[in-house]
Chains A and B, each alone.
Chain A
Amino acid sequence: MDYLRMGGYADFVWPAYGAAAVGLIGAFVITWRGLKAREREFETMKRQRRGETS
């Protein structure tokens, strides 16, 4: 438990690592969701296109 206190600097060390985690994980989640949404959009577009030509 003493370790978590970070020698009295817990209020600064843990939020700093938290901020980094939020930034990196957040950017990954946004990117992943954006990619999946764009893939779906492109697939529907291709399907519609096939429907039109047939």
Chain B
Amino acid sequence: MHKYANPTVFMGLANGILPWAGMAMALLFFAGLPMALIVSPADYQQGEAARIMYVHVPAAWMGLMIYGVMAAGSAGFLIWRHPMANLIARASAPLGAMFTAVCLVTGMLWGKPMWGAYWVWDARLTSMLILLFLYVGYLALADAFEDSERGDKAAAVLALVGSVNLPIIHFSVTWWNTLHQPSILTMNGFTVNAAMLWPLFLMVGAFMTYYVCILVLRLRIEILNAKIRNARRARAAEPAVNGATQQA
């Protein structure tokens, strides 16, 4: 595991994965979108509006999963000073925020025709909104300090503390009275018919491979940022040394 703490080794692996993840993503969207929009049956209660599920649920799962990745990366950074773990957390945060925002917007568009309101302050919706704020807070904190190391640490602590929200989101539909439907994944398997489950899985796969692709590109940005920062620091140190020798 610690072998992959080396950015060169890690990026070698990540860049090798990229074309395969890209191809898998294209195939999954190519199969998933027509299945979600055309092939899958309309719901007997919700009619065609149920098709919103195929973007809403994958976006929600990605929002949660990416926060898990971010919290694990932050833990790896704080405990083992694993530099790649921190970069993975940093590179993941904007994508997690985007998926959470997509989840909230598609949820509102689904809520209006089904519940009669775009927004209700119930447990599931509110805890999901808090997830978005945690992402935004992480992003703001990570770049808030002149000294990037301090920003990284503060953001990592926030990511870890915020992970308490993940089980709250998951169990919110069981613990409290809510308008939101219960989880479709239960101890007895999935509670959704196969005709709807397949398009859902394909869309989840498409969103996941999308995340992998963009994550690799964002990791390249993070590594270039670090290189540029180090080069600037080295250059800033040089004139001071020259000045000192001239004085002597």
Q: Report the contact-size class of chain B (Cβ under 8 Å from the partner).
A: 35 or more
Asked whether, in the complex, the Cβ of B228 is within 8 Å of the Cβ of A6, the reply is no
The A1-26 residues at the B interface (CB cut-off 8 A) are 3, 6-9, 12-13, 15-17, 19-20, 23-24, 26
Asked whether, in the complex, the Cβ of B37 is within 8 Å of the Cβ of A17, the reply is yes
Q: Report the contact-size class of chain A (Cβ under 8 Å from the partner).
A: 20 to 34
A35 to B231, CA, bound (A): 18
**Assuming A34-B221, A38-B221, is B52 touching A13 (CB within 8 A)?**
yes
Q: How far is the CB of A28 from chain B (nearest CB, A)?
A: 6
The B37-63 residues at the A interface (CB cut-off 8 A) are 37-38, 42, 47-49, 51-52, 55-56, 59
Asked whether, in the complex, the Cβ of B112 is within 8 Å of the Cβ of A16, the reply is no
**Assuming A20-B106, A31-B218, is B95 touching A8 (CB within 8 A)?**
no
Asked whether, in the complex, the Cβ of A31 is within 8 Å of the Cβ of B48, the reply is no
A20 to B99, CA, bound (A): 8
Q: Assess whether B182 is interfacial by the CB under 8 Å rule.
A: no
Asked whether, in the complex, the Cβ of A31 is within 8 Å of the Cβ of B37, the reply is no
Asked whether, in the complex, the Cβ of B47 is within 8 Å of the Cβ of A7, the reply is yes
**Per-position contact with A for B56-89: 1 when CB-CB < 8 Å, else 0?**
1001000000000000000000000000000000
Which residue on A lies nearest to B114, using beta carbons?
A: A12
In the assembled complex, 9 residue pairs joining A and B whose CB atoms fall closer than 8 Å, in A order, are: A8-B48, A12-B49, A12-B110, A12-B112, A15-B109, A16-B52, A23-B101, A28-B214, A45-B231
Q: A9-B48, A16-B106 are in contact. List 15 more A-B contacts (CB 8 A).
A: A3-B38, A6-B49, A8-B47, A9-B113, A13-B52, A16-B56, A16-B105, A19-B102, A19-B106, A23-B59, A23-B101, A27-B98, A32-B217, A34-B221, A42-B228
